[in-house]
Structure 1
Amino acid sequence: MKISVVVPAYNEEAAIGHCLDALVNQIVPVDEILVVDNNSTDRTAEIAEKYRDHGVRVIRETVQGLIPARNRGFDEATGDILGRIDADTRVEPDWSQRLAEAFADPTVSAATGPSWFYDAPLHRTGLAAQRLFCHRVNRMLSGHPMLWGSNMALTKECWQELRHHACPGPDIFEDLDLAIHLHRLGRKVHYADRLRAPVSARRIAGSLRDLHRYLRTWHRTYALHGQRKAAVGARAFKLAGLVFLFPSVALMLRAYTPDEGRLSLRKLLSRSSSAEARPIP
Structure 2
Amino acid sequence: MKISVVVPAYNEEAVIERCLNALVNQIVPVDEILVVDNNSTDRTAEIAEKYREYGVRVIRETVQGLIPARNRGFDEATGDILGRIDADTVVEPDWSQRLAEAFADPDVAAATGPSWFYDAPLRRTGLAAQRLLCHRVNRVLSGHPMLWGSNMAVTKECWRELRDHACPGPDIFEDLDLAIHLHRLGRTVRYSDRLRAPVSARRIGGPLRDLYRYLRTWDRTYALHGQRRAAAGARMLTLAGLVVLFPLVGLLLRAYAPEQGRLSLRRLFSRGAAPGSRPIP
TMscore range, shorter length: over 0.9
Counterparts of 1:263-278 in structure 2, within 5 Å, are 263-274=263-274, 277-278=277-278
Show the counterpart of 1:5: 5
Could you say which residue in structure 1 is the equivalent of 2:54? Answer: 54
Are 2:11 and 2:43, in contact at CA under 8 Å, matched by a contact in 1?
yes
Write out per-residue CA displacement over residues 5-43 of structure 1, whole angstroms, 9 at most, x where no aligned residue. 000000000100000000000000000000000000000
SS state of the match for residue 206, structure 1?
Answer: coil
Specify the SS of the correspondent of 2:30.
Answer: coil
Question: Taking structure 2 as the reference length, what is the TM-score of the superposition?
Answer: 0.99
* Structure 2 residue 108 is the aligned partner of structure 1 residue 108: yes
Q: Where do 1:114-153 residues align within 5 Å?
A: 114-153=114-153
Q: d(CA) in 1 for partners of 2:14 and 2:177? A: 28
2:6–2:33 Cα contact (<8 Å) kept: yes
- Counterpart residue type for residue 237 of structure 1: L
Compute the displacement of 1:276 (Å): 7.6
Distance 1:42 1:132 in 2: 36
Q: State the partner residue of 1:164.
A: 164
Letter in 2 for 1:4: S
Deviation at 1:167, TM superposition (A): 0.2
Q: Which residue of 2 aligns with 1:23?
A: 23
Structure 2 distance, partners of 1:245, 1:67, is: 29
For the residues of structure 1 that align with 2:161 and 2:57, how far apart are their CA atoms? 25
The corresponding residue for 1:260 is 260
For the residues of structure 2 that align with 1:132 and 1:275, how far apart are their CA atoms?
24
Unaligned runs of 5+ in 2: none
The residue number in structure 2 matching 1:251 is 251
C-alpha contact 1:206 1:275 (8 A) present in aligned 2: no
Answer yes or no: is 1:228 the counterpart of 2:237.
no
CA distance in 2, matches of 1:41, 1:211: 23
- Return the alpha-carbon distance in structure 1 between the equivalents of residues 172 and 261 of structure 2: 34
**Distance in structure 1 (CA, Å) of the matches to 2:240 and 2:27:** 40
Number of corresponding residues: 281
What residue identity is the alignment partner of 1:243?
V
Residue 196 of structure 1 corresponds to 196
Name the aligned partner's letter for residue 251 of structure 2: L
Q: Percent identity of the aligned residues?
A: 85
How big is the shift at 1:98? Answer: 0.2
* Contact preservation (8 Å) 1:92, 1:197: yes
Normalised to the residue count of structure 1, the TM-score between the two structures is 0.99
CA distance in 2 between partners of 1:259 and 1:93 (Å): 22
Q: Which letter maps to 2:212?
A: H
**Contact 1:253–1:274, Cα closer than 8 Å, also in 2:** yes
Offset from partner CA, 1:105-148 (integer Å, 9 cap, x none): 00000000000000000111000000000000000000000000
Indicate the SS of the match to 1:251: helix
Structure 1 runs of 4+ off > 4 angstroms?
none
Q: CA RMSD in A?
A: 0.9
Q: Which amino acid aligns with 2:85?
A: I
CA contact (8 A) 1:207 1:275 kept: no
Is 1:112–1:190's contact at 8 Å kept on the other side of the alignment?
A: yes
Give the stretch that moved more between structures: 256-265 or 266-275.
266-275
Displacement after TM superposition at 1:275 (Å): 6.7
Please list the CA deviations of residues 58-110 of structure 1 after superposition, one character each: whole Å capped at 9, or x if unmatched. 00000000000000000000000000000000000000000000000000000
One-letter code aligned to 2:88: D
Cα distance in structure 2, aligned partners of 1:193 and 1:143: 19
SS in 2 for 1:254: helix
